[in-house]
Amino acid sequence: FPIGKMGLIQRLPEDVVNRMAAGEVLARPCNAIKELVENSLDAGATEIKVMMQNGGLKILQVSDNGKGIEREDFELVCERFATSKLQKFEDLMHMKTYGFRGEALASLSHVAKVNIVSKRADAKCAYQGNFLDGKLLAPTKPAAGKNGTCITATDLFYNLPTRRNKMTTHGEEAKMVYDTLLRFAIHRPDVSFALHQNQSSDFRTKGDGNFRDVVCNLLGRDVADTVIPISLESTRLKFKFTGKISKPIASATSKNAQNRKTNRSFFSVFINGRSVRCDILKHPIDDVLQNRSLCVQFCALHLEIDETRIDVNVHPTKSSVIFLEKEEIIEEIREYFEKFINDLFGLPDKTEAV
Ligand code: ADP
Ligand code: MG
């Protein structure tokens, strides 16, 4: 080779790689909230408080009463692919925790200024540290703090000006954070969730395990009072499908009801305890309802499925899943739900809208 001649391909600097990756995991404040709340749940927290300013762009803070972070772990806590949850590739099949990729806090520290205060129950005091671009900026310092962890992200996307400037309507971002937290609150009535931003959309759930109270508190008694369980188990396809839906009402009336009251309807899907964007499970339900001109204001679906039949490691946000036997599962759900609606309302008569 001619000495000194360089090709055109060069390795990107590590900080550029990390910042790009971070932007993918954390596209908006609500993604950060999801990651932080999941970490709190992984740490066994029973109380999780979220505080935000300017839709989370100025300040986003999650504090919990979970098991805390060891002082010795502060060095690695924001480093990419550093985790206490996954040790070897095979473990991926059986992950019971939300996290395992060790990317969330690293990502956050590449797009925001991060402060962590944490106290383990066996430690004399809390410790705190500031992080930027994956690194602890100065040695940890003792701090005041209760058992648990408080993570604060300030000036989210300060180094991604285009993204930041696009998010000028803080209300939009705040609403998405609210929705994200709402999903967790409804899924986990045994954990107390609180959101503080401004009086109008603050909420708090008790965490006493009472599901109806949570729905009542968040969506109103009208909806909560009509919620009924659904449940289907398939030994052949190794899944258990459960859910809670508000009693179906005629589509036209439901629109009026929604507009009149909270203008809110709720839909969520959890697969093996993980909140996912998975409309596939919604389709059979929607189809059956639509065929009878019905709709529901509340629908929370849970699918428990043999871990070897799905793959959650599709995307860093883990919000999508791939599963085997998709068609068969959907067909079983459709048949079940059709029967469920027939039992509730009688068989459809021929004059009903198709
Ligand atoms: P992951 O959740 O995939 O392990 P994260 O970047 O989200 O990766 O977190 C890195 C590590 O920091 C976790 O594995 C955990 O040990 C620790 N951690 C993060 N948040 C908390 C928390 N709220 N309480 C206790 N430990 C935490
Ligand atoms: Mg995590």
Domain covering 14-204, topology? Heat Shock Protein 90 (3.30.565)
Sequence ranges of the domains in the chain: 14-204, 220-345
Asked if the model's pLDDT at residue 124 lies above 80, the reply is yes
State how far the Cα of 349 lies from the Cα of 342, in Å rounded to an integer.
11
Asked if the model's pLDDT at residue 11 lies above 50, the reply is yes
Asked if the model's pLDDT at residue 313 lies above 80, the reply is no
Helix or strand run (H / E) with residue 203: strand 203-204
The average pLDDT across 138-145 equals: 96
Q: Which of 47, 77, 118 to mutate to test the pocket of ligand 1 (most atoms within 8 A of CB)?
A: 77
Higher pLDDT, 268 or 354: 268
Asked if the model's pLDDT at residue 254 lies above 90, the reply is no
Which residue owns the Cα nearest ligand 1 atom 2? 99
Neighbours of 213 (CB within 10 A): 14
Give the atom of ligand 1 at the shortest distance from the alpha carbon of 100.
3
Asked if the model's pLDDT at residue 1 lies above 80, the reply is no
**43 touches ligand 1 (CB under 6 Å):** yes
Domain 14-204 shares a fold with domain 220-345:
no
Which residue owns the Cα nearest ligand 1 atom 18? 39
H-assigned helices in 131-195: 161-166, 170-187
Asked if the model's pLDDT at residue 257 lies above 70, the reply is no
> What distance in angstroms lies between residue 233's CA and the mean position of ligand 1's atoms?
34
Asked if the model's pLDDT at residue 46 lies above 80, the reply is yes
CA dihedral 294, 295, 296, 301 (to 10 degrees): 100
Q: Residue 260's pLDDT is what? A: 41
pLDDT tens string 184-220: 999 999 999 999 987 666 889 999 999 998 998 888 8
- Ligand closest in space to the Cα of 104: 1
**Is the Cα dihedral 54, 59, 62, 63 positive or negative?**
negative
**104 touches ligand 1 (CB under 6 Å):** yes
Give the atom of ligand 1 at the shortest distance from the alpha carbon of 105.
6
Asked if the model's pLDDT at residue 82 lies above 90, the reply is no
294 has which bridge partners? 250
pTM of the model: 0.86
Asked if the model's pLDDT at residue 277 lies above 90, the reply is no
Asked if the model's pLDDT at residue 340 lies above 80, the reply is yes
Q: Tell me how far CA of residue 267 lies from CA of 107, 254, 282, 295, 353, in angstroms.
A: 28, 15, 9, 12, 24
Q: Residue 143's pLDDT is what? A: 97
Asked if the model's pLDDT at residue 319 lies above 70, the reply is no
**107 touches ligand 1 (CB under 6 Å):** no
Q: Residue 259's pLDDT is what? A: 43
Categorize the per-residue pLDDT at 315 as very low, low, confident or very high, splitting at 50, 70 and 90: low
**61 touches ligand 1 (CB under 6 Å):** no
**100 touches ligand 1 (CB under 6 Å):** yes
Q: Residue 41's pLDDT is what? A: 96
> What distance in angstroms lies between residue 83's CA and the mean position of ligand 2's atoms?
8
Which residue owns the Cα nearest ligand 1 atom 11? 83
Name the region of 81 (left: φ>0; alpha: ψ -120 to 50; beta: rest): left
Q: What's the one-letter identity of residue 52?
A: M
The average pLDDT across 235-242 equals: 93
Q: Tell me how far CA of residue 19 lies from CA of 25, 112, 170, 187, in angstroms.
A: 10, 11, 23, 32
ipTM of the complex: 0.99
> What distance in angstroms lies between residue 330's CA and the mean position of ligand 2's atoms?
30
Which residue owns the Cα nearest ligand 1 atom 19? 39
Q: Residue 262's pLDDT is what? A: 46
**Is the Cα dihedral 334, 337, 343, 349 positive or negative?**
negative
Give the atom of ligand 1 at the shortest distance from the alpha carbon of 101.
3
Which residue owns the Cα nearest ligand 1 atom 16? 84
> What distance in angstroms lies between residue 26's CA and the mean position of ligand 2's atoms?
12
> What distance in angstroms lies between residue 36's CA and the mean position of ligand 2's atoms?
7
The average pLDDT across 100-117 equals: 93
For residue 351, the SS3 value is coil
The average pLDDT across 40-64 equals: 96
- Ligand closest in space to the Cα of 34: 2
**105 touches ligand 1 (CB under 6 Å):** yes
Categorize the per-residue pLDDT at 350 as very low, low, confident or very high, splitting at 50, 70 and 90: low
Higher pLDDT, 345 or 128: 128
> What distance in angstroms lies between residue 103's CA and the mean position of ligand 2's atoms?
7
Domain covering 220-345, topology? Ribosomal Protein S5; domain 2 (3.30.230)
